[in-house]
């Protein structure tokens, strides 16, 4: 990792987390932590180039097949790779295969950039996550081992108290809110060696009175109807939310995106 780095290009690889769901912009597109990070890096490096190959719903095998070679061929200064979590959330998951595919991705990407960035993905608190937590933590052990072997940077979002707070997650309970994405961008920014803009990104939100029983039941019913049932239906039919969708930034081009928000909570 550099101090006061001069990176000139970034390619983001992954699934919905890196695509930017649910950081929704007024025009109906998603921004997310990778776009925010690119905006900050571009402000420090004239002519900065950025590509985001991530597509929602992708499994690690699809990421390897569709994104890894494309990213490696671009040979950017920085590549971020976050994948495999969608696999761990499937009822049936071959963790041996997931580890092998993640290893293949890292072995191909690490020599193709100056700095490969991996992550221990954030996980919100709640009973649903507990069922899949052992798989997630097995995935994170693999991430740590690969990073040590190949000189990659690991950004620990899983261990950040703030990102476990349900208030930093969207109503679908699967994707971060705009404030959650801002904190992830800050975490990666600092991990790459840039001067911190928010030294408190790990700090939990101030405590507030929890919602009452009725409000929780209404929220649970809305979540089940709008998000859980469609998610289960896609699993049963073998479909994905990203089927047929192209990457939002498939080429490594100069970045002139939205102005990054100022440091500090916005939620």
Sequence spans of domains, the chain: 9-254
Helix ranges restricted to H, the chain = 16-19, 33-44, 60-63, 69-74, 85-88, 95-109, 127-150, 178-191, 213-223, 229-237
Q: For residues 193 and 24, which has the higher predicted lDDT (pLDDT)? A: 193
Class of domain 9-254: alpha beta
Give the span between the Cα atoms of 173 and 227, in whole angstroms.
9
- Residue 101: pLDDT band (50, 70, 90) is very high
Bigger pLDDT: 217 vs 4? 4
d(CA 141, CA 254): 35
Pick from 251, 207, 234, 212: nearest CA to 89: 234
Comparison of pLDDT for 266 and 248, the residue scoring more: 248
Each as own residue / partner, the long-range contacts of residues 217-225 (CB below 8 Å, 24 or more positions apart, any chain) are 219/171, 222/171, 223/171, 223/172, 223/173
- Cβ atoms of 264 and 62 closer than 8 Å: no
**Dihedral, CA atoms, 18, 8, 265, 24, nearest 10 degrees?**
-40
Q: Cα-Cα-Cα-Cα dihedral of 152, 70, 44, 169, to 10°?
A: -70
Tokens (6 digits) for 102: 């993640």
Q: Is 117 helix (H, G, I), strand (E, B) or coil?
A: strand
Q: How far apart are CA 261 and CA 162, in angstroms?
A: 18
Contact present, 45 and 2 (Cβ < 8 Å)? no
Q: How many CA atoms lie within 13 A of 69 on its CB side?
A: 4
Instruction: Tell me the whole-structure pTM to 2 decimals.
Output: 0.85
3-state secondary structure at position 116:
strand
Q: Which of 5-19, 51-65, 204-218 has the lowest mean pLDDT?
A: 204-218
Q: What is the pLDDT of residue 267?
A: 37
Q: pLDDT band at residue 266, thresholds of 50, 70 and 90?
A: very low
| Mean pLDDT for the chain overall | 86
What is the band of 42 on the pLDDT scale with cuts at 50, 70, 90?
Answer: very high
Which range has the worst mean pLDDT, 59-68, 71-80, 164-173?
164-173
**Residues 216, 226: Cα–Cα separation, whole Å:** 15
Average pLDDT over residues 240-257: 84
Residue 210: band (very low, low, confident or very high) from pLDDT cuts 50, 70, 90 = low
Which of 72, 52, 48 is closest to 11 using CA atoms?
Answer: 52
Q: Determine which of 110-119, 157-166, 174-183, 203-212 has the lowest per-residue pLDDT on average.
A: 203-212
Distance (Å, rounded) from C-alpha 261 to C-alpha 63?
29
Which pLDDT score, from 0 to 100, does residue 214 have?
A: 63
53 DSSP 8-state letter: -
């Amino acid at each position: 990792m550099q101090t006061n780095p001069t990176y000139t290009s970034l390619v983001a690889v992954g699934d919905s987390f890196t695509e930017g769901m649910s950081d929704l912009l007024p025009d109906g597109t998603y921004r997310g932590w990778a776009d925010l990070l690119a905006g900050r890096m571009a402000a420090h490096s004239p002519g900065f180039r950025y590509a985001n190959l991530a597509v929602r719903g992708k499994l690690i095998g699809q990421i390897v097949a569709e994104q890894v070679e494309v990213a490696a061929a671009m040979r950017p200064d920085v590549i971020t790779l976050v994948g495999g979590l969608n696999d761990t959330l499937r009822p049936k998951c071959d963790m041996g295969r997931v580890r092998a595919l993640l290893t293949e991705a890292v072995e191909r990407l690490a020599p193709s950039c100056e700095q490969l960035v991996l992550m221990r993905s954030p996980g919100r608190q709640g009973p649903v996550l507990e069922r899949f937590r052992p798989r997630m933590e097995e995935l994170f052990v693999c991430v740590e081992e690969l990073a040590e072997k190949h000189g990659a940077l690991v950004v620990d979002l899983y261990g950040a108290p703030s990102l476990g707070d349900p208030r930093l997650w969207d109503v679908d309970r699967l994707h971060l809110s705009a404030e959650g994405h801002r904190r992830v961008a800050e975490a990666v920014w600092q991990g790459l060696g840039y001067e911190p803009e928010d030294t408190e990104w790990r700090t939990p939100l101030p405590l507030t009175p929890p919602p009452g029983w009725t409000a929780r039941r209404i929220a649970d019913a809305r979540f089940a109807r709008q998000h859980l049932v469609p998610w289960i239906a896609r699993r049963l039919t073998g479909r994905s939310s990203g089927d047929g969708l192209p990457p939002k930034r498939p080429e490594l081009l100069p970045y002139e995106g939205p102005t990054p928000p100022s440091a500090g909570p916005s939620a």
